[in-house]
């Protein structure tokens, strides 16, 4: 990644940057931070992942997804740089033809190039996986946010939360600022010690006050907004409460406690591991009506733990399989077989059904919710989003 950036003229140095790492909450913290920066008069960029339909969804400038022309220009520049690397780096060295940049590395470089071209002043960069070896770990960040630490991607990051935290904290630059969200006491203590060793300021973010965030923000989004506010404070003046609230009122946080009106209503959340499922369950507690879940979980996740976390807040689980597919940036990833997933929900004490095709599973959950006067909930995987939003767009075009 460093070799690729060097050939590109180090676009990652053309703007100030903030780094967001963690198990859950990275995308919402990144987008909220960028929105608050915009409200403070800063031209901000946001680099997030994964995408739902298009790769350019991962790059936002001034709150807007990168346009087709700008994306094509940045992609062409990165493709040419990769070709130059392949032709000029000795075999066996990083960036050589034997070890070319990965798909994700190319995507991150595209964001950097696009930010430079768009005159971004501050870019908020979400790490893809871990931190220490992540493609985003080439930026000279002025502050790092550690949103949360939980067991996920253990095959790459370690088998304990302490090991995973170390991988994520490794991105912290000496003499900068470390902002943390809600962490286990031992992880918070380790993060504080890490910051002290690097001479970095340590900040525990409080939950955002009610007058700073829209009413639709549930508990975990309020916590994430608190992290975002502390990040903004490192590089800009905080906008007034009313300005912050107005900026976030119109911020699209797709799949983060996203309520889609209708009869029945549909709540969409990308909770895709145990910690995310616990946070979603917390947000569901105030709903005093039947809850029908359409759920898919990737095969590398702890499906039993996800089911156990959601079970107290769910009445029926409709289990399906939303595979990422080749265009989603997760080569080789597969959804857990629906009958196995249903077994976990049954073991957790829930009525469960198996509907292998995701669009049909979503419709089944909506049908049951309508019959029972309830709310349908879609969760368990980022890759269910495209089925939800495809159906939503179809409904809009038919009205």
108-127, pLDDT tens digit by residue? 999 999 999 999 999 999 99
Residue 139 pLDDT:
98
Residue linked to tokens 């403070």: 40
Q: Which two tokens stand for residue 279?
A: 């946070």
For the chain, which ranges sit under pLDDT 50? 393-399
* CA–CA gap between residue 65 and residue 45 (Å, rounded): 10
* CA–CA gap between residue 230 and residue 251 (Å, rounded): 18
* DSSP state letters, 151-215: S-SHHHH-SSHHHHHHHHHTTPPTTSEEEE-S--HHHHHHHHHHHHHTT-EEEEPPPPPGGGS-T
Burial grade of 287 (CB within 10 A; 0-12, 13-18, 19 or more): middle
Alpha helix stretches (DSSP H) within the chain: 2-7, 26-39, 68-88, 103-118, 154-157, 161-169, 185-197, 219-235, 241-249, 274-284, 303-310, 338-347, 358-372, 385-398
Residue 396 pLDDT:
39
Sheet of strand 375-379, all strands in order from the earlier edge strand to the far edge: 258-260, 266-268, 375-379, 291-295, 316-319, 351-354
Domains within the chain, CATH numbers bracketed = 2-249 (3.40.1190.10), 258-398 (3.90.190.20)
Q: Characterize the bridge pairing of strands 59-61 and 44-47.
A: antiparallel
Residue partners of 123: CB distance under 8 A and separation at least 6 = 15, 16, 17, 18, 44, 45, 46, 47, 111, 112, 115, 139
Q: Say if residues 89 and 117 touch (Cβ distance below 8 Å).
A: no
The torsion region of residue 5 among left (phi > 0), alpha (psi -120 to 50) and beta comes to alpha
Taking the alpha carbons at both ends of the chain, their separation in whole angstroms is: 47
């Amino acid at each position: 990644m460093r070799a690729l950036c060097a050939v590109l003229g180090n676009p990652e140095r053309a703007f100030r940057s903030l780094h967001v790492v963690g198990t859950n909450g990275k995308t919402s913290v990144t987008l909220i931070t960028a929105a608050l920066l915009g409200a403070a008069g800063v031209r901000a960029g946001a680099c997030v992942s994964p995408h739902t339909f298009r790769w350019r969804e991962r790059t936002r400038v001034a709150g807007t997804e990168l346009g087709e022309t700008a994306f094509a220009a940045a992609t062409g520049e990165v493709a040419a740089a990769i070709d130059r690397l392949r032709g000029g780096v000795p075999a066996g060295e990083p960036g050589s033809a034997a070890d070319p940049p990965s798909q994700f590395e190319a995507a991150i470089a595209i964001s950097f190039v696009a930010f430079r071209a768009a005159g971004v002043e501050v870019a908020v960069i979400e790490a893809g996986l871990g931190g220490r070896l992540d493609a985003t770990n080439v930026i000279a960040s002025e502050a790092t946010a550690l949103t949360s630490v939980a067991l996920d991607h253990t095959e790459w990051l370690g088998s304990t939360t302490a090991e995973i935290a170390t991988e994520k904290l490794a991105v912290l630059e000496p003499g900068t600022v470390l902002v943390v969200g809600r962490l286990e006491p031992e992880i918070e203590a380790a993060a504080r010690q890490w910051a002290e060793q690097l001479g970095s300021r340590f900040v525990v973010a409080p939950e955002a006050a009610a007058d700073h965030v829209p009413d639709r923000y549930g508990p975990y989004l309020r916590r994430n907004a608190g992290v975002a506010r502390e990040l903004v404070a490192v590089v800009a003046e905080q906008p007034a409460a009313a300005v912050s609230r107005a900026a976030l009122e119109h911020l699209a946080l797709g799949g983060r406690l996203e309520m889609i009106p209708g009869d029945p209503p549909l709540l969409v959340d990308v909770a895709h591991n145990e910690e995310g499922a616990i946070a979603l369950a917390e947000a569901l507690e105030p709903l005093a009506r039947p809850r029908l879940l359409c759920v898919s979980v990737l095969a590398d996740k702890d499906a039993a733990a996800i089911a156990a976390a959601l079970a107290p807040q769910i009445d029926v689980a409709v289990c399906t399989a939303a595979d990422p597919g080749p265009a989603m940036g997760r080569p080789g990833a597969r959804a857990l077989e629906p009958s196995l997933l249903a077994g976990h929900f049954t073991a957790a004490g829930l009525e469960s059904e198996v509907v292998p095709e995701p669009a049909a599973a979503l419709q089944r959950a909506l049908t049951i919710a309508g019959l029972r006067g309830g709310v349908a909930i879609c969760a368990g995987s980022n890759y269910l989003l495209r089925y939800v939003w495809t159906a939503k767009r179809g409904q809009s075009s038919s009205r």
